[in-house]
Amino acid sequence: MARGAKACVFCEIARGAAGASLVLEDEASVAFLDHRPLLPGHCLLIPRIHVETLPELPEELLAPYFRNVQILSRAVERGLGADGSFVAVNTKVSQSVPHLHVHVVPRWKGDGLFSPKLAWKRTPYKDEESRKLVAEKIREAVAEVLGK
């Protein structure tokens, strides 16, 4: 890291040096609850290696990384009883942490996420217990999706 450079919080989460509500992890990537979710259960999936944008992700990691996006999407829906999910990647613009991450957001009919006056409101979990409960439901569903 360059002198005076700020540490990457997502790299710290991947190394276990920073706390996060983990819901999926393997050798390729780590998924955790977003601390200011669009909707409860909003997760971020990051590669363990530091790359800032999708075009920088090494080709050999594409399949395992996006397999985990697929697993996480299924688990978020199953674990939270969601009607579907919204999956998105920002590249540079709107990327608040310069480390590749895929958003997986549970969706319910009528949730208002894409209303005519779109203004995404990000709201922290009301308390630690509610955050832990959501993370546990997703972790259990990840295990089910993986057949464990």
The answer for residues whose C-beta is within 8 angstroms of residue 95's C-beta and 6 or more apart is 52, 53, 101
Q: Can you give the length of the chain in residues?
A: 148
How far is C-alpha 30 from the geometric centre of its chain's CA atoms? 8
Selected catalytic residue, list 42, 50, 99, 101:
101
The answer for residues whose C-beta is within 8 angstroms of residue 46's C-beta and 6 or more apart is 10, 13, 14, 29, 30, 31, 99, 100, 101
Q: Is 42 an active-site residue?
A: no
Spatial separation of the C-alpha atoms in residues 52 and 30, rounded to whole Å: 15
State the catalytic residues: 101
